[in-house]
Amino acid sequence: EALKDQMIIDAGQKHFGAMVCKSCGMVYSSASPEDEAHHIQYHQRFMDGIKYTSWKNERVVAQFWDGKIVLIQQGDSKYASKKAEDVRELVDRELGFKQVVLTYPTQTQTYLFVYNETKIIGCLIAEPVRRAFRVLSEPARTLELPATENSLDAQRAWRCSTKPEEVFCGISRIWVFSLMRRKRIASRLVDVVRRTFLFGSCLSTDEIAFSDPTPDGKLFAAKYCQT
């Protein structure tokens, strides 16, 4: 009887164990055929989305030992624009954003962190923004863009000041691949935005704002803006 129970427990653990795909980062249960099918589908889409092949005239705005940051602007090649769009779709799906309209689509700047010359593991989308509202809750004061209609939850969760402050750059999306977080990839993306967003000047942390930050985004922004 004991042996039988033991066998069931072992089989059960193997069977129901949560798996993390080392390539796409998805957590799924190998026990569930549905989960596995979902993973296969997600995996392919994700790997295609983050796949990077350098293009002609790419704008490298920073280089590090573990990667580089490439900037894509309006008017860049079809290939580069398509890549920016694909990555944005992937990020929006992860953030649960549906069809969020960019405030200034023609002035949007997309910064991609490229790892190993083959994979995009970070993305930051910046827009010119003039006014933002300071978040009134702890842990630290961060600036938030006027909320869009998709962000009612975020509005409820965080109290914002009613007095707008002047900023220059709005970070509408920031994302780092789940298995590469806490390696200062987001910090380096924001550093580069501050240096390159406005030609000829370096923006202070008071002059950038984060739009509708998620809990992760808020923790990151609070920490980043203090330093």
- Binding residues for ligand ACO (CB under 6 A): 95, 171, 173-176, 181-187, 210-211, 213-214, 216-217, 219-220, 223-224
* 3-class secondary structure, 61: strand
Minimum gap (Å) between residue 35 Cβ and ligand ACO: 21
Closer residue to ligand ACO in complex, CB, 55/97? 97
Tell me how far apart the alpha carbons of residues 69 and 189 are, in angstroms, rounded to a whole number. Answer: 7
Q: Which helix H or strand E contains 224, and what residues bound it? A: helix 215-226
- Toward Zn ion, which CB reaches closer, 28 or 111? 28
Using the minimum distance from each CB to Zn ion, give the nearer residue, 38 or 130.
38
What is the nearest approach in angstroms of Zn ion to the Cβ of residue 49?
12
SS (H, E, C) 89-124: HHHHHHHCCCCCCCCCHHHCEEEEEEECCCEEEEEE
Q: Residue 21 touches which of ligand ACO, Zn ion, none (CB < 5 to 8 A by kind)?
A: Zn ion
Is the Cβ–Cβ distance between 197 and 126 less than 8 Å?
yes
Look at residue 67 and give the partner it binds from ligand ACO, Zn ion, none, a contact being a CB closer than 5 to 8 Å depending on partner kind: none
Nearest approach, Cβ of 44 to ligand ACO (angstroms)? 21
Identify residues 160-199 at the interface with Zn ion (CB under 5 A). Answer: none
Residue 175 to residues 31, 77, 122, 166, 214, Cα–Cα distance (Å): 30, 23, 6, 25, 11
Q: Is 19 in the site for Zn ion (CB under 5 A)?
A: no
The interface region with Zn ion, picked from 19-27, 154-162, 172-180, 184-192 by CB under 5 A, is 19-27
Where are the alpha helices (H) located in 51-97, listed in sequence order? 78-95
C-beta closer to Zn ion: residue 35 or 86: 35
Binding Zn ion (rule: CB under 5 A), the pick from 29, 30, 31, 43 is 43
Residue 160 contacts which entry, ligand ACO, Zn ion, none (Cβ below 5-8 A, type-dependent): none
Q: Which is nearer to Zn ion, 136 or 179 (CB)?
A: 179
Q: Please name the residue that has the structure tokens 């989960």.
A: 35
Residue whose CB is less far from ligand ACO, 80 or 132: 132
Query: Cα 225 vs. chain centroid, distance in angstroms?
Result: 17
Question: How are beta strands 169-176 and 160-166 bridged, if at all?
Answer: unpaired
- Peptide linkage before 128 cis (omega within 30 of 0): no
Residues that bind Zn ion (CB under 5 A): 21, 23-24, 43
